[in-house]
């Protein structure tokens, strides 16, 4: 699987600028699957030496302009979301792209600094399962037949997240939240923190089924490598280009929300309250 880092430094399409303070800044796309119909977009802002900029008190305004139709403009304020509290995080913004193609993205920071624009190719359809589509009816391993130590690389697993196969949950009339994450092999550092959030959220929503799907299988076997040959079938079925990903399905198995990388305070609560 092409595992796209959610942290700094992966995308070479980025450009830099000297802002009002004279310090070169770089804007970094962190979303791996940007398409019409799903407005959630993640990014980071760094200095050239790799120092991460940003935090709850450093606000960023985003402007997206369609290159071949400058009348299409989206303006929105981003919110900062911690990956690891008080250590590192990403900005999240809703950009409701209404047309596929190339868009210019501009970031302006509350300090008066900005990055030069960079170009973003918005796809007509997402690579992963889209909002409004039926979730794939794919089986996932559970403690019904497998020891929990072979189901997850989490060093403190919640057994309730592994009691049932995903396909058993999708049409039981209850909402389902599925998290694809690999705490031990995650290249983004976001898998463990998001899984910890899920444990808390599961306790807060007893009327919803929660399941953690480890990205890789066979990780306890000699010679294991976290590569495409060891992906679990559910990761392939959902078309995941990165990790972690969280999907929310209604009682009929339809995807009603999806979250890549990080989860802001109240994001999942708002979705579940609407079901």
What separation, in Å, do the N-terminal and C-terminal C-alpha atoms of the chain show? 32
Class of domain 148-273 (CATH, top level): alpha beta
For the chain, give every domain's residue range.
Answer: 16-122, 148-273
pTM for the complete prediction? 0.90
Per-residue pLDDT, 2: 40
Reading the chain (275 residues) residue by residue, the pLDDT tens digits are 444 333 333 333 333 343 444 557 888 899 999 999 899 999 999 888 888 888 999 999 999 999 999 999 999 999 999 999 899 999 999 999 999 999 999 999 988 887 778 899 999 999 999 999 999 999 999 999 999 999 999 999 999 999 999 999 998 999 999 999 999 999 888 999 999 999 999 999 999 999 999 999 999 999 999 999 999 999 999 999 999 999 999 999 999 999 999 999 999 999 999 99
Per-residue pLDDT, 23: 59
d(C-alpha 71, C-alpha 18), whole Å:
28
Class of domain 16-122 (CATH, top level): mainly beta
The 209-214 sheet, strands edge to edge: 209-214, 176-181, 245-249, 255-260
């Amino acid at each position: 699987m092409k595992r796209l880092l959610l942290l700094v430094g992966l995308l070479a399409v980025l450009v830099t600028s000297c802002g009002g303070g004279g310090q070169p800044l770089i804007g970094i796309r962190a979303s791996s699957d940007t398409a019409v119909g799903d407005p959630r977009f993640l990014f980071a802002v760094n200095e050239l030496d790799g120092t991460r900029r940003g935090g709850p008190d450093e606000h960023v305004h985003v402007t997206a302009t369609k290159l071949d139709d400058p009348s299409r403009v989206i303006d929105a304020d981003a919110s900062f979301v911690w990956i690891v509290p008080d250590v590192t995080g990403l900005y999240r913004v809703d950009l409701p792209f209404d047309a596929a193609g190339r868009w210019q993205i501009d970031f302006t920071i509350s300090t008066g600094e900005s990055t030069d624009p960079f170009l973003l190719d918005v796809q007509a359809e997402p690579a992963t399962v889209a909002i409004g589509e039926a979730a794939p009816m794919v089986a996932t391993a559970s403690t019904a037949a497998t020891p929990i130590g072979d189901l997850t690389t989490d060093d403190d697993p919640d057994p309730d997240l592994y009691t049932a196969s995903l396909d058993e949950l999708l049409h039981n009339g209850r909402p389902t939240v599925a998290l694809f994450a690999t705490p031990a092999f995650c290249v983004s550092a976001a898998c463990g923190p998001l899984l910890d959030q899920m444990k808390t959220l599961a306790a807060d929503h007893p009327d919803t089924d929660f399941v953690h799907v480890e990205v890789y299988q066979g990780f306890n076997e000699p010679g294991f490598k976290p590569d495409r040959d060891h992906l679990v079938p559910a990761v392939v079925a959902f078309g995941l280009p990165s990790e972690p990903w969280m999907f929310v399905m209604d009682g009929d198995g339809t995807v009603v929300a999806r979250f890549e990388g990080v989860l802001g305070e109240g994001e999942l609560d708002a979705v579940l309250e609407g079901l």
